[in-house]
Every structure is written in structure tokens, then in C-alpha cells.
Amino acid sequence: MEYYVNCQSENEYETPQTASGPPVIPKQDNNKATNTKTLFVLAIFLGICTIVSVAAFILIIQLQDEMKLMREKLDTLKTTLKNNTNLTDANFWMNGMFSLSGWFRASNNLIYKRFTDSVNYATAKAQCEGMGARLVSTGIRNNKVKIEIFPKHYLAGVSAWIGLDDIRNEGIWVWSDGVNESPNSLWDAPEPNGGKTENCVEVVFYNSTFVGNDAPCTLFRRFVCEREVN
């Protein structure tokens, strides 16, 4: 009887194992997920590299075309200038570069650049000075050079600022190159007649000649810059 009781007691404390326990969750394959992300990032990187490479190739082709065009322009200028001038090599190449940049050398050996956008007098003066130049002045006092600077088509129906004003002292006209001289040969009678309200000078093409007119400095006009060759 003692043996039976002990066995029965042991059975009471045993935990029965049933098939209804918690489900076993399979482990995820982390290595597979990591490899997928790596391949995705690598694909994006290769795509970006391909796009950048193609863009760089196109840019190089465009630069080569532009350089070829520039060489052709220089060759054309070289042929033209050699056929029409007796300049030294230094002057020849300098004139070529001036032409490409919009500047040109006049017969007084100064260089000029014409602008077709219209601005007030102060802005025109500042733009010229910003390029190491000044509003045209020296060339205006030379009749031959004046025609080179102001071809008829440039002043057709419009006018342009020149470097002449009496802003500082009324009636005392000062050129931008520092010459203090009244341009008697430039005025068209009864100019100048604006008094204190017209202190800046514009040049116009009138009666088949170039004449000066004093005007308010706030008007918008074309302008020409003049620079000495250093």
C-alpha cells in the first residue's frame, strides 16, 4: 500500500504535455533581407553614376564644339585683319580678342564698346567704371573717331549718353576723361538750354550730323564706354 500511495503522489505533480502549447515561430532569414537591401542601394548608386557619366559626356562634347567654333572665329578674324591692316602681331591678337568681347579699337588707339540697353546717366557711368573704362569722351572731340564710335544705325531714332556733364558746377562742363572744356562744336543751337534741370549730355543724330543735347540725368538712354589699352 505504501508503494501505491507514493506513485500516486508523484503523478499528481507531473505536468501533462499536450499538443495545444504555444506555436513555434520560425526564425527569419536576416541575411537574405540584408542582401536585398544592399542590391537595391547598389542598383540606385549605379543608376546615378550612369546618369552623371552621360551628362558629363554630353558636356564635354558641347565644350569641344564651342572651342572649335571659337577657333574658327579666331581664324576668320586673323585672315580678315591680316588682309586689311599692317598691325604688329601683338596688336593683331589684341584686336581679335576685343572683337570677340564686343570691344573695338578706334583710330585713336582707344577701345570702345557700344551698349543697346537704355539706362540713366548714373547707371551708365557706373557700368563703364566697373569695367575699368569711362563714358565716351576723348573720341567725341575727334570728328573722325566720333563717326567710328557712333555709326548711323546705332543712333537711328535713339540717343546715347556721353561722358559730359555739369552736375558738380552749373554751366561748367566736365568730360569723363578730366578735360574741363565746353564742347562748342558739339552743341546744336540753342543748346545747352536746360539750366539746372538738364545736367547730362546725350548725343543724337540730327540733320545728318551728330549733335549734343543737355538732358535730365534720369532719362534712359543707350551709352558707350571708352577705355585706354594698358
Overall average pLDDT of the 193-217 stretch: 89
Give pLDDT, residue 70: 67
pLDDT averaged over every residue in the chain: 79
Cβ-based burial of 108 (10 A; exposed 0-12, middle 13-18, buried ≥19)? middle
Give pLDDT, residue 47: 83
Give every CB contact of residue 171 below 8 A, 6+ residues apart in sequence.
none
Overall average pLDDT of the 144-166 stretch: 91
Q: What is the pLDDT confidence band of residue 92, given thresholds at 50, 70 and 90?
A: very low
Give pLDDT, residue 153: 86
pLDDT for residue 89 is more than 60: no
Q: What is the pLDDT confidence band of residue 181, given thresholds at 50, 70 and 90?
A: confident
The amino acid occupying position 108 is N
Give pLDDT, residue 73: 65
User: 118 phi and psi, to 5 degrees?
Assistant: -100, 130
DSSP, res 180: B
DSSP for 211-222? Answer: EEEEE-TTS-EE
Q: What is the pLDDT confidence band of residue 96, given thresholds at 50, 70 and 90?
A: very low
Give pLDDT, residue 23: 58
Overall average pLDDT of the 12-23 stretch: 50
Cβ-based burial of 223 (10 A; exposed 0-12, middle 13-18, buried ≥19)? buried
CA-nearest of 141, 209, 219 to 173 is 141
Residue 182 vs residue 163, higher pLDDT: 163
Distance CA 95, CA 104 (A): 7
Lowest mean pLDDT of 79-93, 104-118, 175-189, name the range. 79-93
For residue 203, count other CB atoms closer than 10 A to its CB: 24
Instruction: Give CA angle at 62 (59, 66), nearest 5°.
Output: 135
The set of cell numbers assigned to 32 is 537574405
pLDDT for residue 3 is more than 60: no
For residue 69, count other CB atoms closer than 10 A to its CB: 10
Q: How many CA within 13 A on the CB side of residue 34?
A: 4
